[in-house]
Amino acid sequence: MDYSTNVTYLSLEGHVELEKYRYVYFVISLSVYLLIICCNTVVIYVIYTNKCLHEPMYIFIAALLCSALFGTTGLYPKLLSDFLSEKQVISFGACLFQAYWIYTYFALEFTLLSAMAYDRYVSICKPLQYATLIKISTVKKLLFFCCFFPSCQNSISLILTYRLQLCKFKLNRIYCNNYSIVKLSCGDVTANNSFGLYSLIVNAFPPLIFVIYSYVRILDVCLRNSKEFRSKALQTCLPHLIIFISFTVTSCFEVINSRLEGNMPHIFAMIMSVENLVIPPLINPIIYGLKLQKIFTIIKKIIWERRLKM
């Protein structure tokens, strides 16, 4: 059967039930976005401008915070615009690009977190080899892979979705999601679903397994060392572990929400769909800024110096 259509614009129907309080949601969303920008930018600035923080661990942290800014930029500008618009529509091309942007962020975040786990593993389990294994050149290669692999993989998903002919134009979401776009097609989507499953497995399971393995080894080393050693290891590992668990849980919510679309209360579904674009970008700079003594000390020093100048 030929499903040739002229669907060039999609309607974001997720806003329908939010219409009554859209200005309230606009203020909340704008406040959250500005807070994300400010918190992440401050920590990135502190790391960039202080040479004592130009070490692998802090470079990875700066990359993680840049990733958060990248991901949220794929959501908030369009979301804020929609809250102020009478009609929430988006072109098919822009919708695909937004889905590609956000999916790349998810994959980028997972690969960065697994690279950071490797850094912590070598630091604690192989401290004498750290300078050899984790050089700045190694960090650059890892960061290049973290950016290159997700962007290439999601390009394939984008191409597979772009070739589809859509026979429906209503997305029951507040932003574009590849799985939801695919469901608008009346043609054969076997290739899309197969590659989507492959992407989910490749992006989620290897980092998860690697992080679990790293922390099992770290725990084993800590149990065989002094209390002071365990305290120091906990100080450097706890922020990363909290952030990894937070991002994994919120990403699971998004996957569940996509699959159960239309089978749960709308407000709950909306909250679940944006959690991993709100919670991790908000808590990452707060956790690293407060938990890591070097960063926290420099931030306090900057605040104190500015108070004295006022």
The per-residue pLDDT for range 109-154, each reduced to its tens digit, is 999 999 999 999 999 999 889 988 999 999 999 999 999 988 988 8
Rounded Cα distance, 127 and 137, in Å: 18
For the segment 291-305, the average pLDDT, to the nearest whole number, is 78
The letter for the amino acid at 38 is: C
Structural contact between residues 218 and 124, judged by C-beta atoms closer than 8 angstroms: yes
The pLDDT value given to residue 6: 58
For the segment 69-96, the average pLDDT, to the nearest whole number, is 90
For the segment 223-249, the average pLDDT, to the nearest whole number, is 85
* Residue 13 pLDDT exceeds 50: yes
Helix H segments across the chain?
Answer: 22-49, 56-73, 76-83, 92-125, 130-133, 136-162, 178-182, 190-223, 227-259, 266-274, 279-291, 293-309
* Residue 4 pLDDT exceeds 70: no
Structural contact between residues 47 and 102, judged by C-beta atoms closer than 8 angstroms: no
* Residue 307 pLDDT exceeds 70: no
Structural contact between residues 26 and 83, judged by C-beta atoms closer than 8 angstroms: yes
Model confidence at 266, in pLDDT bands (50, 70, 90)? low
The pLDDT value given to residue 262: 57
From the CB of residue 301, how many other CB atoms can be counted at a distance below 10 Å? Answer: 12
* Residue 264 pLDDT exceeds 70: no
Q: Which conformational region is residue 182 in: left (phi greater than 0), alpha (psi within -120 to 50 degrees), or beta?
A: alpha
Model confidence at 44, in pLDDT bands (50, 70, 90)? very high
The H or E element spanning position 7 is none
Top-level CATH class of 11-309? mainly alpha
* Residue 310 pLDDT exceeds 70: no
Rounded Cα distance, 179 and 190, in Å: 12
- Chain-centroid distance, C-alpha 265: 25
For the segment 31-35, the average pLDDT, to the nearest whole number, is 94
Q: Which of 5-9, 29-33, 57-61, 166-170 has the lowest mean pLDDT?
A: 5-9
Closest to 53 measured CA to CA, from 281, 296, 227: 296
- Please write the tens of the pLDDT for every residue from 161-178: 988 888 888 888 888 888
